[in-house]
Amino acid sequence: MLLLAHPRVGSYCHALAERIGERLLDLGHEVRSHDLYAERFDPILTAYESHTSGEDVESVLAREEDPLIALHREELRQAEGLAIVHPNWWGMPPAILTGWVNRIVVPGVAYRLEDATGYPEPLAPIQRLLVVNTSDTTDEREETLYGDPLASIWGRCVAPYLGAPRVTRRVLRPVTDSSPEQRTTWLDEVGSLASEAFGRTP
């Protein structure tokens, strides 16, 4: 499953996601690609989706009436790998992608909780998670001032609810004023990362 979260058509994130998708297809993988903005994915969590545990939560979520939400949940339920491309905005993913996590990585799809304070029992078969971020923050400033909150979001917060897959993450920076040559180099690097992260199908 491949997710892209950037509102500008033709952005560098689009090029990165396209390269990842092409490489995965070359390796023999079946790729379900989703441009969240192009699909007009609705990130707004409903009241009934806000529960994380309890006897009825899974059955309630299973009756999802939005066909796009139901499709994403079914694809995540079957996915063996997840690749995500998004910019670093305020140390967070874009709101549409945060909404995707809130609405798709849910009990009965990705995990199960016996109680709200418990540890998640993985349900989705995801083994590999690849996250590629674009940023204009320098490495030094990220390290000394911000502490790379996206590393914590994906590696420590989200990944355990996906069954603790092996996480590969690459941050490309600074992007806005990068040269065409640098962007070509990054595209090749990201393609290689996809190969290393997911490998060739048997």
pLDDT digits 0-9 by tens, 34-72: 999 999 999 999 988 888 877 688 888 888 889 999 999
Contact 99, 42 (CB under 8 A): yes
- Distance between CA 139 and CA 34 in Å, rounded? 29
Q: List all residues 6 or more positions away from 150 whose beta carbon is below 8 Å from its beta carbon.
A: 88, 91, 92, 93, 131, 133, 169, 171
**Per-residue pLDDT for 125 more than 80?**
yes
Q: Which residue type, as a one-letter code, is found at position 151?
A: A
SS3 for 154? helix
Which pLDDT score is estimated for 55?
Answer: 67
pLDDT digits (tens, 9 = 90+) for 163-176: 999 999 999 999 99
Distance of alpha carbon 176 from alpha carbon 199, whole angstroms: 31
Provide the percentage of residues in the chain whose pLDDT is more than 90: 79
Q: Is 33 exposed, middle or buried (0-12, 13-18, 19+ CB in 10 A)?
A: middle
Q: Taken in order 5, 139, 153, 166, is the CA torsion positive or negative?
A: positive
Closest CA to 138 of 186, 85, 88: 88
pLDDT value, residue 12: 98
Is 80 exceeded by the pLDDT of residue 146? yes
> For residue 16, what is the domain's CATH number?
3.40.50.360
Cis peptide bond N-terminal to 202, omega within 30: no
- Contact present, 122 and 162 (Cβ < 8 Å): yes
pTM to 2 decimals? Answer: 0.94
3-state SS class at 115 = coil
Flag whether pLDDT at 113 surpasses 70.
yes
Per the structure, the count of domains in the chain is 1
Check if the beta carbon of residue 110 is closer than 8 Å to that of residue 28: no
At residue 153 the predicted structure's pLDDT band, cuts being 50, 70 and 90, is very high
Query: Residue 145's domain spans which residues?
Result: 2-198
